[in-house]
Amino acid sequence: MSGTKPTILVVDDESAVRRIAGIMLETAGYEVYTAESAAEGIAIAEGLQCRLNLLLTDMIMPNVDGHDLILTIRRICPQMDTLLVTGYAPEDGRERNYPILPKPFNKDQLLGAVKQILDKQI
Protein backbone atom coordinates (compact mmCIF):
# COMPACT_ATOMS: atom_id res chain seq x y z
CA MET A 1 0.00 0.00 0.00
CA SER A 2 2.95 2.32 0.36
CA GLY A 3 2.98 5.31 -1.97
CA THR A 4 -0.70 5.06 -2.85
CA LYS A 5 -3.86 6.11 -1.12
CA PRO A 6 -5.86 3.24 0.34
CA THR A 7 -9.09 2.76 -1.60
CA ILE A 8 -12.36 2.44 0.30
CA LEU A 9 -15.81 1.57 -0.99
CA VAL A 10 -18.70 2.81 1.17
CA VAL A 11 -22.02 1.05 0.53
CA ASP A 12 -25.03 2.30 2.48
CA ASP A 13 -28.61 2.88 1.42
CA GLU A 14 -28.86 5.89 3.76
CA SER A 15 -27.65 8.85 1.72
CA ALA A 16 -26.65 10.94 4.77
CA VAL A 17 -24.49 8.15 6.22
CA ARG A 18 -22.91 7.44 2.83
CA ARG A 19 -22.18 11.10 2.13
CA ILE A 20 -20.82 11.93 5.60
CA ALA A 21 -18.65 8.80 5.78
CA GLY A 22 -17.31 9.57 2.30
CA ILE A 23 -16.42 13.14 3.24
CA MET A 24 -14.75 12.06 6.51
CA LEU A 25 -12.66 9.45 4.72
CA GLU A 26 -11.70 11.69 1.78
CA THR A 27 -10.68 14.47 4.19
CA ALA A 28 -8.42 11.95 5.93
CA GLY A 29 -6.66 11.20 2.62
CA TYR A 30 -8.38 8.04 1.42
CA GLU A 31 -9.58 7.40 -2.11
CA VAL A 32 -13.32 6.87 -1.64
CA TYR A 33 -16.09 5.47 -3.80
CA THR A 34 -19.69 5.40 -2.62
CA ALA A 35 -22.65 3.28 -3.62
CA GLU A 36 -26.29 3.38 -2.53
CA SER A 37 -26.99 -0.29 -3.24
CA ALA A 38 -25.28 -3.65 -3.29
CA ALA A 39 -25.60 -3.82 -7.07
CA GLU A 40 -23.89 -0.44 -7.48
CA GLY A 41 -21.17 -1.48 -5.00
CA ILE A 42 -20.48 -4.67 -6.92
CA ALA A 43 -20.22 -2.74 -10.20
CA ILE A 44 -17.74 -0.29 -8.64
CA ALA A 45 -15.65 -3.15 -7.19
CA GLU A 46 -15.51 -4.82 -10.60
CA GLY A 47 -14.49 -1.54 -12.22
CA LEU A 48 -11.68 -1.01 -9.72
CA GLN A 49 -10.13 -4.31 -10.79
CA CYS A 50 -9.27 -5.31 -7.25
CA ARG A 51 -7.72 -1.99 -6.20
CA LEU A 52 -10.03 -2.08 -3.19
CA ASN A 53 -8.49 -2.12 0.28
CA LEU A 54 -11.63 -1.82 2.39
CA LEU A 55 -15.36 -2.31 2.01
CA LEU A 56 -17.37 -0.32 4.53
CA THR A 57 -20.94 -1.56 4.29
CA ASP A 58 -24.21 -1.32 6.12
CA MET A 59 -25.52 -4.58 7.54
CA ILE A 60 -29.19 -4.04 6.66
CA MET A 61 -30.00 -2.86 3.12
CA PRO A 62 -32.81 -3.58 0.68
CA ASN A 63 -32.43 -6.73 -1.45
CA VAL A 64 -28.95 -7.79 -0.21
CA ASP A 65 -27.61 -7.66 3.32
CA GLY A 66 -24.07 -6.61 4.18
CA HIS A 67 -22.90 -10.18 4.72
CA ASP A 68 -23.97 -11.29 1.23
CA LEU A 69 -22.40 -8.16 -0.27
CA ILE A 70 -19.10 -8.91 1.48
CA LEU A 71 -19.08 -12.47 0.15
CA THR A 72 -19.82 -11.29 -3.39
CA ILE A 73 -17.17 -8.57 -3.44
CA ARG A 74 -14.60 -10.88 -1.84
CA ARG A 75 -14.96 -13.12 -4.89
CA ILE A 76 -13.80 -10.11 -6.92
CA CYS A 77 -11.21 -8.83 -4.42
CA PRO A 78 -10.22 -11.64 -2.04
CA GLN A 79 -7.60 -9.55 -0.21
CA MET A 80 -10.07 -6.78 0.66
CA ASP A 81 -10.85 -6.07 4.31
CA THR A 82 -14.29 -5.14 5.61
CA LEU A 83 -15.91 -2.89 8.18
CA LEU A 84 -19.56 -3.46 8.92
CA VAL A 85 -21.63 -0.50 10.13
CA THR A 86 -24.98 -1.12 11.75
CA GLY A 87 -27.62 0.51 13.83
CA TYR A 88 -28.76 -2.94 14.92
CA ALA A 89 -27.29 -5.55 17.22
CA PRO A 90 -23.50 -5.71 16.77
CA GLU A 91 -23.70 -9.47 17.40
CA ASP A 92 -24.91 -9.90 13.81
CA GLY A 93 -21.44 -9.06 12.52
CA ARG A 94 -19.38 -10.48 15.36
CA GLU A 95 -20.86 -13.92 14.76
CA ARG A 96 -19.31 -13.74 11.30
CA ASN A 97 -16.01 -12.27 12.53
CA TYR A 98 -16.42 -8.85 10.93
CA PRO A 99 -15.20 -5.69 12.60
CA ILE A 100 -18.26 -3.66 13.65
CA LEU A 101 -18.77 0.10 13.84
CA PRO A 102 -22.11 0.89 15.50
CA LYS A 103 -24.26 3.70 14.10
CA PRO A 104 -24.29 6.52 14.85
CA PHE A 105 -20.54 7.05 14.71
CA ASN A 106 -18.38 10.17 14.76
CA LYS A 107 -15.30 11.04 12.73
CA ASP A 108 -12.81 9.79 15.32
CA GLN A 109 -14.62 6.46 15.66
CA LEU A 110 -14.79 5.96 11.89
CA LEU A 111 -11.19 6.94 11.19
CA GLY A 112 -9.92 4.93 14.16
CA ALA A 113 -11.71 1.78 13.00
CA VAL A 114 -10.54 2.22 9.40
CA LYS A 115 -6.94 2.86 10.45
CA GLN A 116 -6.89 -0.17 12.70
CA ILE A 117 -8.08 -2.41 9.86
CA LEU A 118 -5.83 -0.93 7.17
CA ASP A 119 -2.74 -0.98 9.42
CA LYS A 120 -2.98 -4.78 9.37
CA GLN A 121 -2.42 -4.71 5.58
CA ILE A 122 1.00 -3.12 5.85
pTM of the entire predicted model: 0.91
Q: How far apart are CA 69 and CA 64, in angstroms?
A: 7
Residue 67's pLDDT is 87
Helix, strand, or coil here: 88?
A: coil
Residue (of 81, 116, 107) closest to 21 by Cα position: 107
Query: What CA–CA distance (Å, rounded) separates 73 from 111?
Result: 22
pLDDT > 70 in the chain, percent:
90
Please state the domain extents for the chain. 7-119
* pLDDT of amino acid 95: 54
Rounded CA gap, 55 and 7, in Å? 9
Task: Report how far residue 115's alpha carbon sits from residue 72's, in angstroms, rounded to the nearest whole number.
Answer: 24
Q: Which CATH number fits domain 7-119: 3.90.1150.10, 3.40.50.2300, 3.60.130.10, 3.20.10.10?
A: 3.40.50.2300
d(CA 69, CA 59): 9
The mean per-residue pLDDT over the stretch 68-87 comes to: 92
Average pLDDT, the chain: 89
Average pLDDT over residues 94-101: 74
User: What would the mean pLDDT of 70-84 be, rounded to a whole number?
Assistant: 93
